[in-house]
Chain A
Amino acid sequence: MSMAWEVVIGLEVHVQLNTRSKIFCACSTAFGAEPNAHTCPVCLAMPGALPVLNEAAVDKAIAFGLAIGAELNHRSVFARKNYFYPDLPKGYQISQYEIPIVGRGHLDVLLPDGSEKRINITRAHLEEDAGKSLHEAYAGESGIDLNRAGTPLLEIVSEPDMRSAVEAVAYLKKLHALVRYLDISDGNMQEGSFRCDANVSLRRPSEPFGTRAEIKNLNSFRFLEKAISYEILRQQDILEAGGKVVQETRLFDANHGETRSMRSKEEANDYRYFPDPDLLPLQLEEKRIERVRVALPELPDARKARFIEQYGLPVYDAAVLTAARELADYYEIVATGQDAKLAANWVMGELLGALNKAGLEIDSCPVAAEELRQLLARIADQTISGKIAKEIFEILFAEGGSVDAIIDARGLRQITDSSAIVAMIDEIIQKNPQQAADYRAGKEKLFGFFVGQVMKASQGKANPDQVNALLRERLQAQ
C-alpha cells in the first residue's frame, strides 16, 4: 500500500468464559447438546424469571483484569442493551455499559521482527451471549436454539493502538494465549468461544483518526489478517479516488476473502441502555481481589523470563515456547533432567514441525511429553544416535508406543562394541582397496565415503564417534 496512509486498528474480543453454568442461571454451558436442552425459565426469559449473577464468572473477569495490570472497578453496574432479535429471548442483553468491571490495562506484544509493542486495553466487561437461529433443516421456517443464551462472555476492548494486520494478529494471539493461561476460557475459535470484531480506519500520519468500519465476528487469526488486509485496500481505493469511508458494520466473507456492508450507522439500533434493576451493582471487595490474585497461575511474560533464566534459553526460544500454556507445560516436562537447549530444539523443530504438518494443536499432540523426554534420555545415554532418534520420533508420532519398546522391537540400539565396529570397518576396507589406497595417498575427502559405508553397513546404529576414531585408526594401520 501507499506509504502515505497510516492504518489504525482496534479490536473488540468476545471471550466465552469457561464456567460450568451460565452467567445468570444454573443451566450448563456445555457445547453441542440437543437444541434447547440447556434452558430454564431464566434463560428462556419466561415471565417473572430473574437473573442471579454467577460469581465464578466474576472471579474470571477479576483474574483477567489482574493479568493485564488493569484498574478493577470496585463498583460496576449491569445494564440492559435493548433490541429485538429472535435469539435474544428477553428482548435485551444484560451487559455492562457506563461502569465495566475491568478498566484500563495493557498487553505487551512480541512482533515477528522481534520487537515488542504495548497495546492498551480500554476496558473489559461481563455480559451474556445470545442464542442461535437455525435456518437450515427447516423449510421456510427458522429454529431457535437457546442453549448458548446466557453463556458468560468477557468483552475486551482495545485502544486503536495497532498499525497493521500483523500487529492485530500478534495482539489477538497474545490475548488468546493469556486467557488459556488464566484458564478463563477454552479459547476454542471454531466453536465461537473466542471471536473478534475489528475496527479499521486509515489516516494521514499525525492527522486525526479517519472514519472506521467495523468488521464483525472474525473467528480465526487467518480471517482477521485477511479481513483487515482487504479492508485496508478497500478504504485506500475509496480515499485515493477522493471518496469518503462510510461508518458501518461489515461482515467478512471467508469464501471470497472480502468484507461486505451489513448496516450503516444510520440503520444502527438505539440500544436504550439503562442500569438493570434486577441486579444490584457489583461490589468487589479487596479481599476477593486478593484471593484471585494469590491463585493466579504464572503468566506468559513471567514464564518467558524464567525460561531464559532457568533453562538458559535464547529470548526467541523462550518466547516461542511460552506462547501457549500447553506448549510451555509440554516443554518443561521434556526438559526435566535433559539438556534444556536440546529439548528446546526438539520441541520447536521436530515436534512443532510435525504438528504443523498434521494440522494439529499441542493439546492434541500424539506424542506424550514423557516419551519425548525418554527419547532425549536415550540419546544422552548413547543407546541411540540423534539420527535414529528422529526415526523413532516419526514412529512415535504416527503410531504411538514407547521409545524403549520401539528401540528393542526394531533393533535400533546403538552399536558401541569396538570389536564389532572394527570388524565392519575391516570388511569395508577390504572391499574397497583402491579407495583405501587413495586415502592413504592423501585424498582426505574419502574419509566421509568410508564413514557412510560403515553407517550403512550398521544400518545407522554404529556409534558415530567410535566409527570416526576407529576408522581413522584402521585406515592408517593398513
Chain B
Amino acid sequence: MELHQMGVAELSAGLRNKDFSAVELSSTLLQRLRQAQDSLNACITISEEPGLEQARAADQRRAQGDSAPLLGIPLAHKDIFCTRGQRTTCGSKMLAEFVSPYDATVVQRFQKAGMVTLGKLNMDEFAMGSSNETSFFGAVRNPWDLTRVPGGSSGGSAAALAARLLPAATGTDTGGSIRQPAAFCGVTGLKPTYGRVSRYGMIAFASSLDQGGPMARSAADCALLMDVMAGHDPLDSTSHPQAAGRFSAALGRSVKGLRIGVPEEFFGEGLDPEVAQAVQEAIQWYVREGAEIRPVHLPNNVHAVSTYYVLAPAEASSNLSRFDGIRYSHRSGSAVDLQDLYLLSRYEGFGPEVRRRILVGSYVLSAGYYDAYYRKAQQLRALIREDFRRAFAEVDVIMGPTTPTPAFALGAKSADPVAMYLADIYTIAVNLAGIPALSLPCGFSKAGLPIGLQIMGNYFADELILGLGDAYQRDSDWHQQEPGWEEQ
C-alpha cells in the first residue's frame, strides 16, 4: 500500500515503526495536493513550508520519545477554522485576504497532538450550500465523476479524502455539511453531538446548529480524530462540560441485541431506488449480525427543511453582520459615505446565496414577522427534538439514507435554491435536535457513484455510532474503493 492510500491508523503504526518519517509523508501528500488542484480544486490554500516545518517538528518530537497516536499525521482544515498567520477565507471574497490573529480551538488541539496542517480546504461560501458551487474560489469536483458535485458545504474535505490527497480532514455540519459530502464522495464523516467539539474560532453560520466534526476514510479513523477534537472549551459557552470522550477505545463492539429504528419518513417519495436498496442492504447486514429492526416515526421531519430555512438564516443574518468593511473584511473602494461603505462592501463581498440567506434571515426576525416565522420555527424545532426523544426511548440508533440521491451534476441545481435545499432533507433534523450522526459508504449506484448510510444516535451516543460504523467497515470494503479521477 502506498503512503497516500493509508488511513490514520495505518499511518500511525507506520510512523511509530519508523517505516517512514512525517516529512516524507507530508512531502508526498503535498505533491498530490498540488497535482490534484487543477482537476479537483479541493484546496483554497496549500501550506507547503509551514506544513513541512510542522512535519519536521513532529519527527523531532518522535526522536525525543513522544509517541502521541496522531503525531506526524497530516490533515487539512475546512477553511472555516481560523488558523493564525495563515489566511482563513470561509470560501468568500469577503475574507479572501483575511489572516486570523488566533487559532481555532480545534486547530490548536490537533496541533498539540502533533498533527501536521497541510492546507485549508475549499467549501461553500460561509458553509451555505450543498454542492460546493457557492465558493468564491470555484466549485470543487467529485473525484468519482468530475462532472458532478462533491456535495457541500465541506466539499473540499470530502473530495480530498476520496482522492487520497489526505488521510484526515475537518468539516463542519450545520444541516448536513459533513454527512452529505461524505456520502457523495464515499468517505466517512461524523456530525458530533452539539457541544462536544468547540466552536471557538470556527466561523459561525448558524450558531445553534453548527458543529465541527472529523472526516476520514473510516469510522475508526474518525474515532481517533474525535479523541483529540472533542473536549470542553471554556471559550465556548455552548461547549458541554463532559464533551471529552474515549472514542477509539469504544470501538470493536458487538452488534448483537442492538435495536435499530428505521423511520418510514426516510424511505418515502423522492428517494432514489438505488440509494434505498443499498441502504436497506446495509441495515440487513446489522440484522444478520444480531440486531433487530423496529419501526419508528419522525412525523415532524417533514417540517425540518422549512424550520431550518427560517432558523439558520435568522442566526446567519446576525452572525454575518460583523463583515461590515470596517475592520478586516472586504472594503469597497467606491464608497462615498458610511451607508455606502456598508452596502457596497457587503454587496461586493458576499455571493448571491449568502445575500439571499441574509435577506431571509433579516425578514423572519423583523418586527411584525418574528412571531409568524422565527417563533413558530422554534416551536417546530422543539417538536422535532421531541420526535427523536420518543424514538430513542424505543431504539438505540436510527438508520436511513444520508441523501435522497447520489451526487448530482455540477450546475444541475444551482438555479433552483429549493431543489438544492431538499438535498439535505434527511440530514437537517439531526442538527435541529443536536444529536450525533455518522455517514459512511454502503454501496455504489450503477453509474459508479458512492451511496451513504446514515446512523443517528441519541445525545452523547457518538461513541456508539462510531463503533457501529466501524463494525460494518470491518466486514465491507465500500470505504476502501478508490475513485479513478486521475484517469478522467
Contacts and interface: CB of A to CB of B under 8 A. Distances in A.
A366 interface: no
A47 interface: yes
Interface in B198-226: 199-204, 206-208
B314 A274 contact: yes
Contacts of B81: 48
A89 B237 contact: no
A46 B237 contact: no
A400 interface: no
B324 A47 contact: no
A248 B321 CA distance: 26
A46 B367 contact: no
Given A48-B82, A48-B200, A280-B237, A92 B318 contact: yes
Interface in B399-447: none
In this complex, the interface size class of chain A, counting residues with CB under 8 Å from chain B, is 20 to 34
Nearest to B311: A277
A52 B234 contact: yes
Contact of B207 (A46, A53, A82, A278): A278
Given A80-B318, A86-B338, A89-B322, A272 B365 contact: yes
B279 interface: no
A91 B318 contact: yes
Interface in A73-89: 80, 82, 84, 86, 89
A47 B202 CA distance: 8
Given A48-B82, A48-B202, A80-B318, A278 B237 contact: yes
Nearest to A91: B321
Contacts of B104: 48
B366 interface: yes
A51 interface: yes
B82 A46 contact: yes
Nearest to A278: B207
Contacts of A48: 81-82, 100, 104, 199-204
A444 to B, nearest CB: 84
A352 to B, nearest CB: 48
A49 B200 contact: yes
A80 B324 CA distance: 17
B322 A47 contact: yes
B101 interface: yes
B367 A279 contact: no
Contacts of B24: none
Interface in A49-84: 49-53, 80, 82, 84
B335 to A, nearest CB: 13
A277 B324 CA distance: 21
Contacts of A44: 327
A90 B321 contact: yes
Contacts, number: 99
B281 to A, nearest CB: 39
Given A41-B101, A270-B367, A272-B365, A50 B322 contact: no
Contacts of A53: 237
Interface string B319-341: 01111101110000000001000
B431 to A, nearest CB: 12
Contacts of A80: 318
A274 B101 contact: no
B87 to A, nearest CB: 11
A44 B324 CA distance: 12
Given A47-B82, A48-B201, A280-B238, A84 B101 contact: no
A263 to B, nearest CB: 14
Nearest to B368: A270
Contact of B366 (A52, A84, A89, A272): A272
- From DSSP, what is the main secondary structure of chain B's interface residues? loop
A46 B208 CA distance: 19
Contact of B237 (A45, A92, A273, A279): A279
B96 to A, nearest CB: 13
B413 to A, nearest CB: 28
A280 B200 CA distance: 15
B95 interface: yes
Given A41-B101, A272-B362, A279-B237, A47 B90 contact: yes
Interface in A252-275: 270, 272-274
A147 to B, nearest CB: 15
A289 interface: no
Interface string B348-382: 00000000000000100111001000100000000
B153 interface: no
A278 B238 contact: yes
B167 to A, nearest CB: 25
A44 B366 CA distance: 26
Nearest to A25: B235
A428 interface: no
B102 interface: yes
A44 B101 CA distance: 11
B200 A50 contact: yes
Given A50-B236, A270-B366, A84 B203 contact: no
A274 B323 CA distance: 19
A91 B322 contact: yes
A278 B203 CA distance: 12
A41 B326 contact: no
A49 B237 contact: no
A302 B92 CA distance: 61
A253 to B, nearest CB: 23
A122 B285 CA distance: 63
Given A45-B322, A274-B374, A52 B237 contact: yes
A365 interface: no
B98 interface: yes
B363 to A, nearest CB: 9
Contacts of B26: none
A144 interface: yes
A23 to B, nearest CB: 12
A47 B98 contact: yes
B318 A89 contact: no
A49 B201 CA distance: 5
B462 interface: no
A50 B235 contact: yes
A235 to B, nearest CB: 27
B237 A50 contact: yes
A128 to B, nearest CB: 14
A288 B440 CA distance: 47
Interface string B104-128: 1000000000000000000000000
A200 B30 CA distance: 69
B88 interface: yes
Contacts of A280: 237-238
Contacts of B370: 272, 274
Lowest 8 A-B CB distances belong to which pairs?
Answer: A91-B321, A277-B208, A272-B365, A277-B207, A48-B201, A45-B322, A47-B203, A48-B82
Interface of A: 41, 44-53, 80, 82, 84, 86, 89-92, 144, 270, 272-274, 277-280
Given A48-B201, A48-B202, A49-B201, 9 more contacts: A45-B327, A50-B200, A50-B235, A86-B324, A90-B321, A144-B326, A272-B362, A277-B238, A280-B237
26 contacts: A44-B327, A47-B95, A47-B203, A48-B81, A48-B104, A50-B235, A51-B237, A52-B234, A53-B237, A82-B318, A82-B365, A84-B342, A91-B318, A91-B320, A91-B324, A92-B321, A272-B318, A272-B365, A272-B366, A272-B367, A274-B370, A274-B374, A277-B206, A278-B207, A278-B237, A279-B237
